[in-house]
Structure 1
Amino acid sequence: MLEAVELAAAHAEHLVYSERAFETARTAPYDEPRKLLRDLVALDRVAGAWNVAGGIGRPIRDVALQQQLEWADDVSVTARAQNAREYAFSHDGRPLWAGPHVRVATGRGMRRTCRVYLALVKGDEPDLAGLPRGIYVGPVGKHLSDSTTG
């Protein structure tokens, strides 16, 4: 999985990859790297639309669905609160929270399940002190803990 993330990051024009993306991909048990790569390339196109100053004028979910991505708008507040270490990541020393995500694969077992967790930064959040507008890639691979994972 790491190779798919490295390749996508090397060619990305809009997505911003955090170190956490590479760390989690290195140990991800999912076994279909081509599918992950395909979704990361499509996600880069979504990020291109998101990066336009003033926004995209419609829900980001619509843009993701147009790119044939299985988009989830966020994770529950409870999941994030109870599993903060899993959902937290950073970029340039700024703390970010994984929320929106792409379901690359949903199947039985860890080798058949893959998620790409993201942070959507608007570029004007005071607590992010100048982190530019963009879609930041956080954990890649396993489904993070929530009410469905037991």
Structure 2
Amino acid sequence: MLALVGQHRDADAEQARERRFVDTATQLVVNMFSYTPNTIDEAVNRFVNSTSGPLRGMLSANNNVDNLKGLFRATNATSEAVINGAALEGIDTVSDNASVLVSVRVTVADIDGVNKPSMPYRLRVIVHEDETGRMTGYDLKYPDGGN
């Protein structure tokens, strides 16, 4: 009986960890695509601070963070992301990286509040879990060359 309880606890812990990988990936995508003219600095910083590895390196290079903020400011738009679905593809137990497929719909509204047609995106988010259990967006890919 004790062995069964232990197995159940282990399964629950693994399921919770898998859920955290998916939650981290979906939150990263929402943070990446959601901002208003008044929250650009906060939104971009939140996105960047939730990254690590090659994604963080790319964002940190060549003044990319400030360039991204400037681009968002120049559009004077509001952007909102809604997650359609997400699924864990797998976990690499050696690197503690997980691959998560995320489907999102992004709606951008111009300065007058007029919505442009929403755009669907599919992303493969690589999430890394560090030795303290903190999960971050490690890399982003567009599966099969899609958008």
Q: Provide the TM-score with structure 2 as the length reference.
A: 0.29
Q: Which has the higher contact order (CA 8 A, sep 6+)?
A: 1
User: Which one has the bigger helix percentage?
Assistant: 2
Q: Compare CA radii of gyration and give the structure with the larger one.
A: 2
